[in-house]
Amino acid sequence: MVILDGKKLGEKILGELKTEITGLNKKLRLAVVVVGQNPVVEKFINQKRKAAEFLGIDFKIYPFAEEITTNELRKRLSEIMHEKRNTGVIIQLPLPKHLNTQYILNAIVPEKDVDVLSTKAVGNFVVGKSEVMPPVAGAVKALLEEYKIDFQGKSIVIVGAGSLVGKPTGLWFLNEKVGFSLVESGTLSPEEIIKKADVLITGIGKPKFIKGDWIKKGAVVIDAGTSESGGKLSGDVDFESASQRAGFITPVPGGVGPVTVAILFKNLIALAKE
């Protein structure tokens, strides 16, 4: 069994980006819009801040109170967008429930949308005209490439169709004309489908939902689920039992997460180059 070491791959990508960025005649800055406070979210933000510091990229947090309205946030976001120094803008998700997330995301122009979440950026990606990939899909791709895992002709199963993991990964496979099976909340026997997966990609945020004996012997398990369980970050897969059967498996933390952060900065640089 091989651990898909996302920490190592993330550092490798950041190292390559550091070389690339020295040739870039432009100061980059990532603007991070944060609404409210949340210790888990803060952990994620700190990972991004660290990567930015390593690359010598400016990193600016725009904090807003939990109570902000959709219209007010959208207005403020437009100002942040038009600030020339901000070459990339992200909104830390999830936003509080009272906010219209997609409407707010749509204030980000595609040239600064490093998370590929605005309607325009998603459209560009779906029709195959995007320079950048949604970060989690990019991380899945980078992990498969790094470990030379060929997925053509394999049975691929995606668990969850959320906007950050399942949907963009499914869109990527659709574009690559690669078949896959999608398991969602309405699927009657998820374990029957999951048991057939040569490559399993999950992003539902249910701690240890996927049991070890659902994993096909030798399967590739990419766990992009993140949830908090007893104060600790947990994936969707029960790592301990699943790692007994998998051929390749990502740990949580240290798997998809650090690669996703690296891809975010890869996107920032790619968009700045255009």
| Residue from 188, 217, 230, 274 in contact with a copy of itself (CB under 8 A) | 188
- The answer to whether 182 contacts a copy of itself (rule: CB under 8 A) is yes
For the CB of residue 116, give the shortest distance to a copy of itself in the complex, in Å. 11
| Residue from 55, 122, 215, 263 in contact with a copy of itself (CB under 8 A) | 122
What residues from 143 to 162 belong to the interface with a copy of itself (CB under 8 A)? 152-153, 161
Q: Do the beta carbons of residue 29 and residue 58 sit within 8 Å?
A: yes
d(CA 240, CA 263) in angstroms, rounded, equals: 27
Number of residues that bind a copy of itself (CB under 8 A): 36
| Residue from 38, 70, 181, 241 in contact with a copy of itself (CB under 8 A) | 181
- The answer to whether 170 contacts a copy of itself (rule: CB under 8 A) is yes
The region that residue 113 occupies, defined by phi over 0 for left and psi between -120 and 50 for alpha, beta otherwise, is beta
| Residue from 124, 141, 195, 212 in contact with a copy of itself (CB under 8 A) | 124
| Residue from 53, 184, 191, 213 in contact with a copy of itself (CB under 8 A) | 184
Q: Do the beta carbons of residue 90 and residue 265 sit within 8 Å?
A: no
For the CB of residue 103, give the shortest distance to a copy of itself in the complex, in Å. 8
For the CB of residue 128, give the shortest distance to a copy of itself in the complex, in Å. 8
| Residue from 3, 34, 149, 171 in contact with a copy of itself (CB under 8 A) | 171
| Residue from 22, 26, 185, 274 in contact with a copy of itself (CB under 8 A) | 185
Q: Do the beta carbons of residue 5 and residue 147 sit within 8 Å?
A: no
- The answer to whether 174 contacts a copy of itself (rule: CB under 8 A) is yes
d(CA 261, CA 109) in angstroms, rounded, equals: 20
Give Cβ neighbours of residue 8 (< 8 Å, ≥ 6 apart): none
Contact region for a copy of itself (CB under 8 A) — 48-56, 165-173, 230-238, 239-247? Answer: 165-173
- The answer to whether 229 contacts a copy of itself (rule: CB under 8 A) is no
What are residue 102's DSSP bridge partners? none
| Three-state DSSP string of 23-48 | CCCCCCEEEEEEECCCHHHHHHHHHH
Give Cβ neighbours of residue 235 (< 8 Å, ≥ 6 apart): 202, 207, 208, 223, 224, 225, 226, 227, 250, 251, 252, 255
Cis peptide before 134 (omega within 30 of 0): no
For the CB of residue 50, give the shortest distance to a copy of itself in the complex, in Å. 31
For the CB of residue 10, give the shortest distance to a copy of itself in the complex, in Å. 27
Give Cβ neighbours of residue 229 (< 8 Å, ≥ 6 apart): 207, 208
Binding residues for a copy of itself, rule: CB under 8 A, are 102, 118-124, 126-129, 152-153, 161, 163, 166-167, 170-171, 173-175, 177-188, 193
